[in-house]
């Protein structure tokens, strides 16, 4: 029994270590990501549109927020700045615990078009957890 518990603890520790060493953005398969290092990552996300207005959501999650935590994201669609819908949150400062940013937006293009969403994500004094791009 002790050997099984030790093996389980070892496997869990290896999984946590692997997750901790993954570069930010690698878990988000809908986007390509580049990070020069530090607490910054740039995303490029081709959007498949169907010729109707589609609703999308991009979220960034962090852990360990505290009194000097900050995070922000700037979004573009193609080469133009993208305005997020009301209720979105693209900046935070001094929030405790698990915190997140979210941008809700709409895209209407010709069916089969692949407009590209760009996201520049910057944070400080928090642990990057993951990002998600979801068609709603």
Q: Which residue, chain included where needed, has tokens 């020069």?
A: 36
Q: Is 109 helix (H, G, I), strand (E, B) or coil?
A: coil
Average pLDDT in the chain: 83
State the pLDDT at residue 19: 43
State the pLDDT at residue 4: 43
User: Cα 85 vs. chain centroid, distance in angstroms?
Assistant: 17
pTM to 2 decimals?
0.78
Start-to-end Cα distance in the chain? 47
Asked if 102 and 88 touch (Cβ cutoff 8 Å), the reply is yes
> Which CATH number is associated with domain 24-135?
2.60.120
What CA–CA distance (Å, rounded) separates 63 from 92? 13
The 10s digit of each residue's pLDDT in 51-78 is: 888 899 999 999 999 999 999 999 999 9
The residues spanned by each domain of the chain are: 24-135
């Amino acid at each position: 029994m002790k050997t099984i518990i030790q093996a389980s603890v070892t496997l869990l520790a290896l999984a946590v270590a692997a997750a901790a060493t993954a570069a930010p953005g690698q878990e988000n398969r809908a986007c390509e990501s580049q990070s020069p290092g530090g607490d910054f990552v740039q995303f490029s996300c081709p959007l498949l549109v169907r010729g109707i207005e589609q609703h999308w959501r991009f979220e960034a999650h962090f852990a360990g927020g505290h009194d000097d935590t900050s995070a922000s994201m700037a979004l573009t669609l193609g080469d133009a700045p993208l305005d997020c819908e009301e209720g979105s949150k693209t900046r935070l400062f001094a929030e405790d615990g698990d915190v997140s940013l979210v941008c809700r937006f709409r895209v209407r293009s010709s069916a089969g078009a692949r407009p590209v969403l760009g996201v520049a994500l910057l944070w400080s004094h928090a642990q990057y957890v993951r990002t998600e791009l979801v068609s709603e």
